[in-house]
Chains A and B, each alone.
Chain A
């Protein structure tokens, strides 16, 4: 089973990814020398940008933060008179956009340490807390450490289907997966809670790999954060809007859910569409920096679209660039994307990319197909062909 995914790379005809065995797969058929040269080329792309960071970049993140805070303030102010339908609509929209910006372009990227180079304790991975129920500390561990180090490795990268959804035929099928289209919808609506519970790593506690005392402390921290978030969105602001309390409450629920659905969509499009590959643990043995880079490229997928899409996805639309250089400021991904793409093409590495609707449709198809046992064979027919 583990080897059955290696061959199919439709749509990417130049791919020489016809690797033969699992131990060779992260090298994508490249020689050791080619892998180290690839690593040097990617290192050079990184070094060029990191050496060039300056005031313009600092201005960028401060501007995004100012816009986000302006939108949040404006949205909440409009909702004070949310009995007036246009105010409700505009306020809810502004608040939803503010929350999305806060979680994606600001929170996610600040917590990655992309802006640590500025030396500003107010915009720093060690001090940032985001507008979501999951405390930043737990997320940084499960996301920055586990997911970004062990990207798309079955059994290691817990982000792979968030341990609940079968997104890869190599994951063993269980009867519960029959319902996965349904609970994927639930996960989408309540994504922030899904992430929060997932960060507790209860599966590890059950397996005895994580002490229960630690999990209990984390649950305490999570509950505190949830309470603060709930009091803000579901008590304090509705009460402040007086007679408009019910409509403000609904607006805040809608904004939070919209943010959840958006985040879920973007993140699922980053790793699980057709074209993005998964790996097995034996590939970690003696993995070189070049091998790690290759795994990041093969395990990620980009989204094509206008600059506004890139901003609203927190530049996770440049998932490949983000996975190669997780601590590079996100505003620089767009400029290096053509270079990374060119390097990938020269080394015959598939660079998966597609529009949001196409990629998301592919993800949903995969989830639907893999609800049933099997699915180890993909039907050819284009980039977004799901697992059929």
Chain B
């Protein structure tokens, strides 16, 4: 089977190779999964252990991952989670909030239900403990280096606190809390994730300073105006910023103006990951590096061919599936039905789909 397999211990791998002689063209995993889905390492899976509400519209999911998962993520990285909704797998990425350690058999993510988010709402409100979800390997370069830099500054808004929470918990657990300033903005105290825990951390670690900004009461944070007051030595700190697009842009400007761009780490979040244009857009072909602008009526196949890429194709009418390619990001629209597909972990037919906004194809 042409699936990349997660790493297993060598003994188990040998046993599996031998058993594969008997199960070919399937894997032994495919039979094991009939008994317990978590025993299959073909796809990373996890079982929902609990869903604990945090605020009115968010919850922390504890997940017991199955075979092939290794607790080796870096604090601050995110994980893809795929859940079936009306028969279709939907994928979203969420920051891991648990401390990476081998002495555990669960991981946690904290999810905020987005107004437009079909999956996030389902994860927060509709997921029964015991449900088996799919997982993707932890990814992302927004993580705490080891050992932690001596002086740190975190600036977060809303659920942008989640990756930073993983970092803070890790430093707390490992006793490596350095000189840390956290500037966190949320609409009001009720909407604030991890409030009690952050207060606890502040009480236990003299080197951890917390500034809470409640934007309904205090107004939004303006880095240009407030940063100097909130953290006078910000230029001497490694900074991690996670939140809305506008916050990230402002941070980029402020750090660049101060000639301190290399010490700024940024993480795009939530809604910013979803494109919304109605028709056409730029198509990037990630392996070959080409990009083309298209209208909403040009298929991805035609766009690719126009860019000079050797696109796989067959019937060119949507029946044979020779042309399917991974849609890494963005949205496309099926020209026959108008149905939209969203990127992430989807294979799409290039011959009958046109871009709906900017998108990235893996070829």
Contacts and interface: CB of A to CB of B under 8 A. Distances in A.
B86 A229 contact: no
A55 B122 CA distance: 15
A75 to B, nearest CB: 13
A122 B84 CA distance: 13
Interface in B70-99: 82, 84, 86-91
B320 A149 contact: yes
Contacts of B22: 232, 236-237, 240
Interface string B319-341: 11110100000000000110100
Contacts of A20: none
A140 B42 CA distance: 23
A70 interface: yes
Interface residues of A, number: 49
B259 interface: no
A144 B320 contact: yes
B196 interface: no
B114 interface: no
B121 to A, nearest CB: 17
A51 B345 CA distance: 21
Contacts of A148: 315, 319-320
Interface in B18-72: 21-26, 30-31, 34, 42-43
Interface residues of B, number: 38
Contacts of B349: 113
A280 interface: no
A289 B336 CA distance: 12
Interface in A115-161: 116-122, 124-127, 129-131, 140-141, 144-145, 148-149
A58 interface: yes
Nearest to A329: B87
B88 A117 contact: yes
A57 interface: yes
B30 A145 contact: no
B317 interface: yes
Contacts of A346: none
Contacts of A289: 317
A235 to B, nearest CB: 9
B1 A58 contact: no
B347 interface: yes
A118 B320 contact: no
A129 B1 contact: yes
B342 to A, nearest CB: 10
Interface in B293-324: 314-315, 317-322, 324
Contacts of B213: none
B92 to A, nearest CB: 13
Contacts of A117: 87-88
Nearest to A112: B321
B287 interface: no
Contact of A122 (B24, B43, B91, B319): B43
B258 interface: no
Nearest to B337: A47
B346 interface: yes
A32 B86 CA distance: 39
B339 to A, nearest CB: 8
Contact of A232 (B21, B321, B345): B21
A249 to B, nearest CB: 15
B34 A70 contact: yes
Interface in A215-244: 225, 228-229, 231-232, 236-237, 240
Contacts of A168: none
Given A50-B337, A127-B2, A149 B25 contact: no
A119 B346 contact: yes
Interface of B: 1-3, 21-26, 30-31, 34, 42-43, 82, 84, 86-91, 314-315, 317-322, 324, 336-337, 339, 345-347, 349
Interface of A: 43, 47, 50-51, 53-59, 66, 69-70, 73, 112-113, 116-122, 124-127, 129-131, 140-141, 144-145, 148-149, 225, 228-229, 231-232, 236-237, 240, 289, 292, 326-327
Given A144-B315, A144-B320, A231-B21, 8 more contacts: A55-B87, A113-B320, A119-B82, A119-B88, A121-B43, A129-B1, A228-B21, A326-B319
The 8 closest A-B pairs by CB, nearest first: A58-B87, A144-B320, A145-B314, A113-B321, A119-B89, A129-B25, A54-B86, A55-B87
25 contacts: A43-B336, A51-B339, A55-B84, A55-B87, A58-B88, A69-B31, A116-B321, A117-B88, A118-B88, A119-B89, A125-B321, A126-B321, A126-B324, A127-B1, A127-B3, A129-B25, A141-B322, A144-B321, A145-B320, A145-B322, A231-B24, A236-B21, A289-B317, A326-B320, A327-B319
